[in-house]
């Protein structure tokens, strides 16, 4: 059993985001929205050519912006393409742009009645955003977005490595509060 917070509304898992059983997955996309490496490439490969065709119609996105497509061959019905910031040391508005990705994705969940959503560690790959500050932005923004909102009912943070799992676990414990008492450590 994976650790949970907020009576199970927030879950942390390590693995492949493309196989999760959620209504939407968030893609750590680039501004073209036409695929790339890391999570972006994995999502495009798993979703099949229909995702690329639909993304071509969107005209790209700006940093901090999120656009929605169908899930195509994925288990998830929706893909929310979030363009996170490249890390330049934190002095170019990176935290605000990263928070905008999470806020905008949560807003799309409410707008499209998406009950469950999975987030990768946006911007922490090739964009080199340091993992701990990125995890803190993610946790604080999602916690604020869930307060007083009925949707999404479930948020999954999906990380790839054991090191990222430990960072997210620690940050979520600090930001959201201690894990749910019945959750497995």
Q: Which CATH architecture has domain 4-175?
A: 3-Layer(aba) Sandwich (3.40)
pLDDT digits (tens, 9 = 90+) for 120-175: 999 999 999 999 999 999 999 999 999 989 999 999 999 999 999 999 999 999 99
Share of the chain above pLDDT 90, in %: 93
Q: How far apart are CA 112 and CA 55, in angstroms?
A: 18
Look up the pTM and report it: 0.95
Helix H or strand E segment including 31:
none
184 has pLDDT over 80: no
Block residue for tokens 């949970």: 4
- Give the residues across from 167 on adjacent strands: none
User: What's the whole-number average pLDDT of the chain?
Assistant: 95
pLDDT confidence of residue 181: 58
pLDDT value at residue 180: 66
Question: Could you tell me which of 133, 135, 103, 108 has the C-alpha nearest to residue 120?
Answer: 135
Helix runs in 72-114, H state only: 94-111
> Would you list the domain boundaries of the chain?
4-175
> What pLDDT does 178 receive?
72
At 2, the pLDDT band (50, 70, 90 cuts) reads: confident
């Amino acid at each position: 059993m994976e650790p949970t917070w907020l009576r199970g509304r927030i879950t942390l898992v390590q693995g492949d985001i493309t196989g999760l059983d959620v209504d939407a997955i968030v893609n750590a996309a680039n501004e073209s929205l036409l695929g790339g490496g890391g999570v972006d490439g994995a999502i495009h490969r798993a979703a099949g050519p229909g995702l690329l065709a639909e993304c071509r119609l969107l005209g790209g996105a700006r940093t901090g912006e999120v656009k929605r497509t169908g899930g195509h061959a994925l288990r998830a019905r929706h893909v929310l393409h979030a363009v996170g910031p490249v890390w330049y040391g934190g002095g170019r508005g990176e935290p605000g742009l990263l928070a905008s990705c999470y806020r905008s994705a949560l807003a799309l969940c409410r707008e499209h009645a998406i009950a469950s959503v999975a987030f990768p560690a946006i911007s922490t790959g090739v964009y080199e955003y340091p993992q701990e500050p990125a995890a803190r932005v993610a946790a604080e923004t999602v916690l604020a977005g869930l307060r007083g909102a009925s949707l999404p009912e479930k948020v999954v943070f999906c990380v790839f490595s054991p090191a990222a799992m430990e960072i997210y676990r620690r940050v979520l414990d600090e930001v959201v509060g201690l894990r749910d008492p019945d959750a497995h450590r």
